[in-house]
């Protein structure tokens, strides 16, 4: 609840509904949404570069409606299939993983969430697709694993050559300052959120 001051100066309590998710679940869901958005952006940009010599009118219509499944198909044709050697193998693996996780992401983002007294450690995302009721169950561990996998996929899509390609790319870009370091150097208030402090545990705590 929060207090709101009305026109007559009186304080009025405002009520809200909590989603009953644990901090661990919320953190993982937030990471999943952010990492998936980052993945869609990277795949879109890589695909768009393949048509950089075309006029806007000749760019495939799939690039204009931002429907990810259609952009992903173009990325597989123009980026993955044209990669060479080990890079192609790595990107093919990421393509399979992305398609595997796509439905789980949609369940989280587009589903209606609930939980059961029979298994309160799980959340259930329910969707209706073409008249069929789809239920997907997630535990906190499932969500953490999903977020971790997405972080790995993001890296390999950008740098299929591994750490060596990443280092080379950073060297070509020159000086780079991360959002965290920029906030530290400029004293931006966001620093406290990017580097959260956790209370020290008592020595006798188990």
Residue 183 lies in a domain: no
The three-class DSSP label of residue 154 is: helix
Residue 152 lies in a domain: yes
Residue 189 lies in a domain: no
Residue 204 lies in a domain: no
The residue segments making up the domain with residue 72 are: 22-163
Per-residue pLDDT of the chain (206 residues; tens, 9 = 90+): 455 665 666 678 888 888 888 999 999 999 999 999 999 999 999 998 988 776 666 778 777 767 899 999 999 999 999 999 999 999 999 999 999 999 999 999 999 989 888 989 999 999 988 889 999 999 999 999 999 999 999 999 999 999 998 888 877 776 666 777 778 878 888 777 777 654 444 444 43
Residue 94 lies in a domain: yes
Long-range contacts of 25-33 (CB under 8 A, 24+ apart): 25/123, 25/140, 25/143, 28/140, 28/143, 28/144, 28/146, 28/147, 29/108, 29/143, 31/147, 31/150, 31/151, 32/105, 32/108, 32/143, 32/146, 32/147, 32/150, 33/108, 33/109
Closest C-alpha among 98, 107, 125, 86 to residue 35: 98
Residue 168 lies in a domain: no
Residue 36 lies in a domain: yes
Domain count, the chain: 1
Residue 10 lies in a domain: no
């Amino acid at each position: 609840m929060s207090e709101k001051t009305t026109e007559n100066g009186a304080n009025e309590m405002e009520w809200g509904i909590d989603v009953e998710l644990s901090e661990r679940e919320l953190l993982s869901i937030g990471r999943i949404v952010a990492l998936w958005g980052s993945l869609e952006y990277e795949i879109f940009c890589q695909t768009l570069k393949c048509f950089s010599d075309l006029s806007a009118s000749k760019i495939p219509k799939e690039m204009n409606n931002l429907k990810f499944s259609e952009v992903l198909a173009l990325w597989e044709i123009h980026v993955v299939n044209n990669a060479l050697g080990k890079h192609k193998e790595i990107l093919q693996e990421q393509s399979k993983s992305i398609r595997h996780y796509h439905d789980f992401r949609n369940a989280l983002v587009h589903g209606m969430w609930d939980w059961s007294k029979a298994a309160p450690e799980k959340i259930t995302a329910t969707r209706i697709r073409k008249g069929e009721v789809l239920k997907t169950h997630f535990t906190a561990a499932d969500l953490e694993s999903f977020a971790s996998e997405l972080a790995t996929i993001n890296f390999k899509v950008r740098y299929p050559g591994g750490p060596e390609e990443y280092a080379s790319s950073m060297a070509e870009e020159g000086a780079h300052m991360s959002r965290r370091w920029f906030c530290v150097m400029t004293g931006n208030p966001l620093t406290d959120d990017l580097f959260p402090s956790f209370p020290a545990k008592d020595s006798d705590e188990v």
